[in-house]
Structure 1
Amino acid sequence: MRLVLVLACLLGLGLGASLQRKPHHCKSPPLMSGAFTFASEKDRAWAICPYEYDAIEERIRIYEAGTFQNQSFTYDVLLLFREGVMYEIDDQSYKCVKRGLSGNFQPIEVPADASLLGSSVIGSSSGPGEGLLVNTWTGPAPDEGKYLLTMTEFGCIPVYNVFETEPFNWVIFSYINTVIGIVDPEALNPPPFCPGREVPPEGEPVDFFTVLKNMGKNTP
């Protein structure tokens, strides 16, 4: 019993000292895998999205499954920002559409212009392993909107992000099962049945938020 009380006291002191430290702007690990849930207010869209994230080569693979305006959908997209292209992929039917991708790669980070709202513990600080120390930040988003970012104090791992944008009103991301590193490196390369480098993209280039807006509408 004494040992448990000592451990609890030490944990409380450790969390207390961490909460007293001044949080700092940070950048998430350059290689991550995991999943996030996505929900938008305006279009009644919800999805769970496993992903592979490579900030070194500026590549993102997202597999989405959810509902859009009360209709179920799946969507698989590979975004290659350095090449300025994206691939909409259907592994079941071996179809692949190559489109132009505009805009710069945006790493997962706390931007330099973000303002700290505060620090908190998700869960409980009463016992070992019961709580997660996080910091919440806010700042301006595209289209004169704003954002809220909740990141872990240690590791700068994304937990909960909210964006206010013109296409969606409010967009909410909740990250789960994050792993440092790439679980499936091949997922960040176009499948063999996709158009090659010599094939020009179809249609007008789109940006990342347009990709999210069109999910469930333009599946291959």
Structure 2
Amino acid sequence: MRLLVLLTCLLAGCLAQKPHPCESPPLLTGALTVSTQNEKLWTYGRYVYDALGQRIRLMEMGTYENKSVTYDLLALYREATVYEISYHNRTCKKKPLKTNFQPLAIPKDATLLAQVVLGSSSGPGEGLLVNTWTGDLPDKTGKYINTVTEFGCIPIATSYQTSEYGWAVTSFYNNVMGIEDPGLLNPPDFCTDAEMMEPTDFLSLFHGKHWQSS
């Protein structure tokens, strides 16, 4: 009986601890949606995230300025390069990546907004404990709001302000720790001779703004 009381007290103490800023696992795969306040952009797709090698792969489809878009992006931050890949046409566009890699993390100066349960707290497995944080973007041009799981710091949603699109919202789904196919983080062979081109404006939404530095 004493052991049960002790374990109960320890559990209550753990749950009562104040959440702290955290960093997500360095290797993640999953799905995400991205939408903007001005409705110019909505996409759904898969992502592969490698914080160790500073590489991100995004394979998405959706609409941009009322036109259907399908794209496959590979961002290699150490090489300051992003590839737009088309396996259907076996073509590759190589463009400069002008932002620094930002790991999936809650910045140390973030402010805790709330800790809540998504779903229900009535029974085991019915809910998910998450923390929502806010703060200023690195360039001080607006605010961000990040939600991650209390245990594991797995990303749930990120919102941030942009001058062109208003609020941009990224929601993460079916996150899995690890990378099943590391080859997705390397350019395909038909990208070898791709020449550097000018970047596309809307691509800036996907280069670093989902991931806030710690």
TM-score > 0.5 by shorter chain: yes
Instruction: Return the offset for 1:202.
Output: 1.9
Aligned length: 199
Which consecutive residues of structure 1, in runs of 5 or more, have no partner in the other structure?
Answer: 1-9, 213-220
Q: 1:145, 1:28 → 2: CA distance?
A: 23
CA contact (8 A) 1:103 1:207 kept: no
| Counterpart in the other structure of 2:36 | 40
Alignment partner for residue 90 of structure 1, among 74, 86, 93? 86
> C-alpha displacement at 1:203, in angstroms?
2.4
Q: For structure 1, which segment, 159-168 or 85-94, has the greater mean C-alpha deviation from structure 2 after superposition?
A: 159-168
Among 172, 177, 186, the residue aligned to 1:175:
172
Rounded to whole Å, the distance in 2 between the matches of 1:67 and 1:143 is 29
Q: Write out aligned runs for 1:4-83 (5 A).
A: 19-83=15-79
Please give the root-mean-square deviation of Cα atoms over the aligned residues, in Å.
2.3
Match of 2:4 in 1: none
Partners of 1:65 and 1:72 within 8 A in 2: yes
Q: Deviations over 1:117-159 (max 9, x none)?
A: 1100000010110010000000012452100000000000000
Please say if 1:135 is aligned against 2:113: no
Matched with 1:151 is 148
- Structure 2 gaps, min length 5: 1-6, 208-214
1:21 Cα deviation from its structure 2 partner: 1.4
Q: Distance in 2 between matches of 1:137 and 1:28?
A: 14
- Paired residue for 1:101? 97
1:93-121 deviation line (CA, Å, top 9, x unaligned): 10001111112100000011211111000
Structure 1 residue corresponding to 2:196, chosen from 195, 201, 214: 201
How far 1:42 sits from its partner (Å)?
1.9
Residues 69-91 of structure 1: CA deviation (Å, up to 9, x unaligned): 22211011100000011100000
Identical residues among aligned pairs (%): 47
Per-residue deviation, 1:162: 0.7
Relative to the length of structure 2, the TM-score reads 0.85
Given that 2:57 and 2:184 are in contact with CA atoms closer than 8 Å, whether structure 1 keeps it comes out as yes
